[in-house]
Structure 1
């Protein structure tokens, strides 16, 4: 939050069209986007927009595009909700222009985007009776955790709402619990978390595990609805508090224990002894001011520690879910892709074909049908299960392996296992390099080298030009120069590089997105 008072913020020249929102603004502050007075999502006027000819532009969140057809009054308003807080509004006609835009579920309930940009029914659009089952679930899970030997408290947005407002935050959609272990070593804290999971399951609860220190406890409500509460574990060591999710910060034990209480929508909930200190660590010194567009700025060092200690082989799954919601380009829903056909034409004699980032397996299953022994590699378990079922239905000689490119041990294990398969071998990777991080790119080329050195090639298809259309899909294009550097660093050589049209690349584009510059590259590690 800048020094300027939000009441002095000026928003002007607001325009709305099918592409997004264009405006001019004087300050970088959060703003609510209203559709006919219904809050739909939020953003920061400068941080989340791009400069275009002296104005600011924000593309519509992809998850909203299916709703953007009809007339609508779009307003930009101060999240603090002070009187006269709407800074600008304009009447617009989007899509085919029929009827009015309504962001609602199939039952007609209003929906909006929460802090994670998920389209949900938010607390602000629910009445107190509808929130009682969630309050019951908080009490039930907290008591179950106490029976399992922990001292739970409400955390993150639930703690913020209780301390700041005495209520649930209107733009939130779920509830969180946390606890601080009595242990101080990661291995002991992890062992305790698994013991707690077993205890909860023995009590009859269904538990989903996010990581070595993150759980979701499912509670069955009276009408049979299943509600999940996230439980974030933490511990204190050497004067530092580590709390799963986002926290790694100097902290004192007496700021947590003994637990106190606060009121949340008329009920008492457990909170840390000095909850303000934890809220400042989570949300910064400006936590008392509403910010529905808040983004956690977790230091890279903290993220690396939490990844290494607790997330392990789960690292990266959140990014995959984001790409699924924003228009994943990994594999077509039915195959094969033109890329797979192109590779198969060039390598009719390959014995083993390894499809990295295989998604739901359509290319791998098709390659098996062409006479290859096919192995699909991916790190999203639901896709791997779908791929296995597809292979079984079609009687294809295709197998599927879980592998995380961001974990060297996972890559080495997969490489060592598949290197025993007969050759020659080929590796395919369609839009994988730009969907992972730098370590994942290096490890992909390492895996390809392990499998194809002296008896095969790797075939890569990559978006090479940075742009809005790629970022909307959660991708980070890799330029041709960077590709050449990565290949050279791996000890390989580029045999061929082919530039593709958007149609040849099979990349679906939304109206006005232009194009995505894409290349196909053939790499070998022949001595």
Structure 2
């Protein structure tokens, strides 16, 4: 047993107090995790100082161990596991306390606080994301969400859709009459009148255009799943997920997780259910709908629930609708992790200034937090920031909302629709134009890199501009790859071959270490054009 594990023993009067008889035996709780034993599967809520932080199933989520199962602290929670807390393990079904003890984890002596930079409490949801779950919000924070749900449902009705509460939002309304405490977002769904995936996709894009024309900001999860952003009455921007679905040959396909035998009259005409005192539309047969969603035990709360979607359903949905968000979660995690790092102007941006003194438009593919976009805008040059993760550039976009020289746009190099449409739009901006792309292609495959080159070629067409590319060519021991999100190096010879395949030529190439320190990483910079 480690020293910190022994520290727990010193804080209780006897081993009997630590190792409770009955459903759960606690062998140790330390920096590694919780070593617990139970003869049967056990659902456990973990609370710090009386506040629920996390839930798990012991056998499902733990690693088999000689003394039971070791449940490791989830990765998003580990940075906070440093200090002291009164830890409680509870059975969420019965409310029975399975174990309670004061613990000391890590090195600090202060109380453990799992909060965001604004000091608001966080907890892990069923996807193991640290979020503000509903059980942490008071009525003042819930009312704006309910307003947003009503607003989006009304907007969807205006564009011809009878939408309803779906997934966890429907479960909370139908089972409990309120929001589920361990949930963190609101889900809506609809079932199209079309029965072919292509027609359902076309309808979804029509809906997106209509909502955009109504003034809503809309982002897309997949070909038939959207997030509609609403500015709530408390000033927060909230995104509500809208999942499209359709019926075909007696099967309900609802984007996300559902492909089951179903009847349309189990959905329409819609019924209603009360959510926090307000009536909202829900499917006509709530039992059949929630059984299709969560299984026959949907009436039993499970804060650690995980969807076990059949491989056949995943394959169908991937083939029909997905592919638009591949890799986005990784970039989201990177930008959240580095949000407090001070952004700096890249060497590529300074190189562009020297090479193109008459530049009219600069385009940054993979703009991140927009440092290079701001740099060019402040010099009087029109600047366009393109990124797969709007979370990254959102703050800079808000700061520059009234600057006509600045534009930010969602851009997905793995989706040909984005590549062609956005690149054609950029090609109509004033020239000369130059394109920068810094530490993006390392995380793309061959198809993604060719799409980036195709995009850059379209953007600089008809001008004297060029693509200025920087990527990691040798990974050192300096942490540079992690700081930049590059992950792993890319062979310049591979890039050169792809440039040739795209019809381009390399005008200039340089490789240099990022610092004079021994073992530092190396980057490669290329200037590429297609003016042949």
TM bin, normalised by shorter chain, reads 0.5 to 0.7
Among 34, 41, 46, which residue is 1:33 paired with?
46
CA contact (8 A) 2:470 2:525 kept: yes
Higher relative contact order, chain-length normalized (CA < 8 Å, sep 6+) = 1
Unaligned runs of 5+ in 2: 1-21
Distance 1:334 1:476, change over 3 A: closer
CA contact 1:179–1:232 (8 Å) conserved in 2: yes
Aligned CA distance change for structure 1 residues 29 and 281 (closer, same or farther; 3 Å): farther
TM-score, length of structure 1 as denominator length: 0.65
Partner of 1:190: 204
Q: CA deviation at 1:422?
A: 8.2
Partner in structure 2 of residue 210 of structure 1? 219
What does residue 359 of structure 1 align with? Answer: 368
Aligned partners of 2:55, 2:521: CA distance in 1, in Å?
A: 33
Report the CA distance shift for 1:378/1:76 in structure 2 as closer, same or farther (over 3 A).
same
Counterparts of 1:189 and 1:46 in 2: how far apart (Å)? 44
| Counterparts of 1:157 and 1:522, CA distance in 2 | 48
Q: 2:303 aligns with which of 270, 273, 292?
A: 292
Cα distance, 1:11–1:291 mapped onto 2, change above 3 Å: farther
* 1:92 paired residue number: 104
Match of 2:30 in 1: 15
2:266 to 246, 255, 262: 255
Q: Distance in 2 between matches of 1:119 and 1:523?
A: 39
Equivalent residue in structure 2 for 1:403, among 403, 408, 411: 411
Over the residues paired in the alignment, what is the CA RMSD in angstroms? 5.8
| Aligned residue among 135, 141, 144 for 1:124 | 135
Are residue 74 (structure 1) and residue 87 (structure 2) matched?
yes
Is residue 2:524 matched to residue 1:521?
yes
Shift of 1:486: 6.5
Residues 475 and 481 of structure 2 are in contact (CA less than 8 Å); yes or no, is this contact kept in structure 1?
A: no
Aligned pairs for 1:102-501 within 5 A: 102-103=113-114, 111-115=122-126, 119-125=130-136, 150-184=161-195, 185-186=199-200, 189-190=203-204, 193=207, 197=211, 207-211=216-220, 214=226, 216=228, 218=230, 230-262=241-273, 264=275, 269-283=280-294, 287-296=298-307, 299-307=314-322, 320-327=331-338, 333-337=342-346, 339-340=347-348, 344=351, 348-349=354-355, 355-364=364-373, 366=375, 376-380=385-389, 383=393, 386=396, 403-412=411-420, 427-430=436-439, 432-433=440-441, 439-447=447-455, 458-461=469-472, 477-478=487-488, 480=490, 488=497, 491=500
Deviation at 1:172, TM superposition (A): 1.5
Is the CA contact (8 Å cut-off) linking 1:497 and 1:520 kept in structure 2?
A: yes
CA distance in 2, matches of 1:354, 1:56: 47
Please give the secondary structure, in 2, of the residue aligned with 1:61.
Answer: helix
Asked if structure 2 preserves the Cα contact closer than 8 Å seen for 1:49 and 1:57, the reply is yes
Which has the higher mean CA deviation after the structures are superposed, 186-195 or 155-164? 186-195
**C-alpha distance in structure 1 between counterparts of 2:54 and 2:116, whole Å:** 16
Q: What residue is the counterpart of 1:3 in the other structure? A: none
Counterpart contact for 2:469–2:527, Cα < 8 Å? yes
**Structure 1 residue 24: deviation in Å?**
6.3
- How big is the shift at 1:335? 2.3
SS at match of 2:135: helix
Cα distance in 1 between the residues matched to 2:418 and 2:261: 33
How far residue 295 of structure 1 moved from its aligned partner, in angstroms, is 4.7
Distance 2:370 2:152 in 1: 38
Q: Please, which moves more after superposition, 402-411 or 239-248?
A: 239-248
Using the alignment, how far apart are the partners of 1:266 and 1:371 within structure 2? Answer: 53
